[in-house]
């Protein structure tokens, strides 16, 4: 077959973002709080990783069903 394989991860990530709205809102609230910080010491790394951990956990349960 000449068709390129399609990576289902992107589509699954898009579908898994909806159930992760709470961590996303926490990240967005943090980003809003620190947007005017010019010191560079404040960050939202924890909230960012919490959001993507939620998405990854959701994707993992679905992704392996697509793999051969």
Rounded CA separation 68/59 (Å): 16
Q: Is 51 helix (H, G, I), strand (E, B) or coil?
A: helix
pTM: 0.80
Rounded CA separation 19/24 (Å): 10
Rounded CA separation 29/51 (Å): 13
Contact predicate 16/59, CB 8 Å? yes
Average pLDDT over residues 35-62: 92
Residue 5 tokens, joined: 């394989």
% of the chain exceeding 90 in pLDDT: 63
pLDDT tens-digit map of 9-30: 999 999 999 999 999 999 999 9
């Amino acid at each position: 077959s000449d068709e390129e394989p399609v990576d289902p991860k992107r589509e699954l990530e898009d579908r898994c973002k909806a159930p992760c709205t709470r961590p996303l809102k926490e990240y967005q609230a943090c980003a809003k709080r620190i947007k005017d910080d010019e010191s560079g010491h404040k960050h939202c790394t924890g909230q960012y990783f919490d959001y993507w951990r939620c998405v990854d956990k959701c994707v993992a349960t679905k992704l392996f069903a697509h793999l051969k």
